[in-house]
Structure 1
Amino acid sequence: MKSIAVNENLSISDQIEATDIERLAQEGIEAILCNRPDEEEADQPSFSDIAAAAEAKDIEAVYIPFKTAEMKPEHVAEMRRLQGSGKRLHAFCRSGNRSFCLYAAAQASRGLPKEQILQQAEKAGVAVEKIIESYYEDA
């Protein structure tokens, strides 16, 4: 698991394993978010296995799977809800990019300045400008 801290309440990584839950619990993570559809690749762990490990550590497990470029408004709304919960959240997908793009869209939908999101994305090595541009068209 290659994890980056986006801010004090959010970290993002590539695919996690059930064995990574212990580390996340020690880091104070209170919820995990999977943005990867089950069986996207043959060898990936199932969400249900990861969720069971998370729930055994009292970590909420949320499943918002979508394929790259298929993010929907309801995905963004659920990410906003999770961010607004005050829980320390860890989001993951195959590489971390999809989860970061969802975070960026949620932040843009809240009105966070575009430049701030782009700076965070640059630090994370993720291109999000096309994902968030529609949130700033009327600004």
Structure 2
Amino acid sequence: MDIRPLTKEFAVSPQIDAAHIREIAGAGFHSILCNRPDGEELGQPEFEAIEAAARAEGLEVRCVPITSGMITPEALAAFDQALTELPKPILAYCRSGTRCTMLWAAVEHGRREDDEIIARAGKAGYDVAPLVRQMQAR
């Protein structure tokens, strides 16, 4: 498992599978947020299997599938709603964790200082500076 915390209440990870769920629950997470559409890659675990394993461990689960590079205002709103509604801490996953981190940075823009967003993502191994600069230019 490669869990990368962005805050005390939110962490990201590359793709998980049902075998990871017990470890995720044991790490103290209360929710799992999938940001990857099923069938994006050959051999990718289906969300349904992860959901069943997570629910068996008492975790809340939600899927807000985002096609890589196609973040829409509706997708951001659904992601933000999931962050608000799901019990914390939340582990979000996608193929590499980058998409989840970009979504987090986009919804946190205006709530946190941009330098903090960039630093938190950077500490987790993700570069969101270009996205933040793009949002600043708007």
Q: TM-score under structure 1 normalisation?
A: 0.88
- The CA distance in 1 between the partners of 2:135 and 2:23, in whole Å, is 35
Residue type at the aligned position of 1:107: E
Identify unmatched segments of 5+ residues in structure 2.
Answer: none
Counterparts of 2:102 and 2:114, CA distance in 1:
13
Q: Cα RMSD over matched residues? A: 1.7
Letter of the 1:81 partner, please give it: Q
Q: What per-residue deviation string (whole Å, max 9, x for no partner) do you get for residues 6-43 of structure 1? A: 11111111000101110111122111111111111111
1:133, 1:100 → 2: CA distance? 15
Asked if residue 48 in structure 1 is aligned to residue 48 in structure 2, the reply is yes
Tell me the alpha carbon deviations over residues 87-134 of structure 1, each in whole angstroms, 9 at most, x when there is no partner: 2100001111111111111111x4311111111122122122333345
Structure 1 gap segments, 5+ residues each: none
Q: Could you say which residue in structure 2 is the equivalent of 1:71?
A: 71
Q: Does the CA-based 8 Å contact 2:6-2:121 persist in structure 1?
A: no
8 Å CA contact retained: 2:105, 2:117: yes
2:18 is matched with: 18
Letter in 1 for 2:118: L
TM-score scaled by length of structure 2 = 0.89
Q: Residue 25 of structure 2: SS of its match in structure 1?
A: helix
Aligned residue pairs, count: 137
1:106 has 2:128 as partner: no
Contact 2:62 2:82 in 1 (8 A): no
After TM superposition, where is structure 1 displaced by more than 3 Å over at least 4 residues in a row?
A: 132-135
Distance 1:12 1:132 in 2: 18
> In the aligned structure 2, how far is the partner of 1:68 from the partner of 1:128?
15
Aligned sequence identity (%): 34
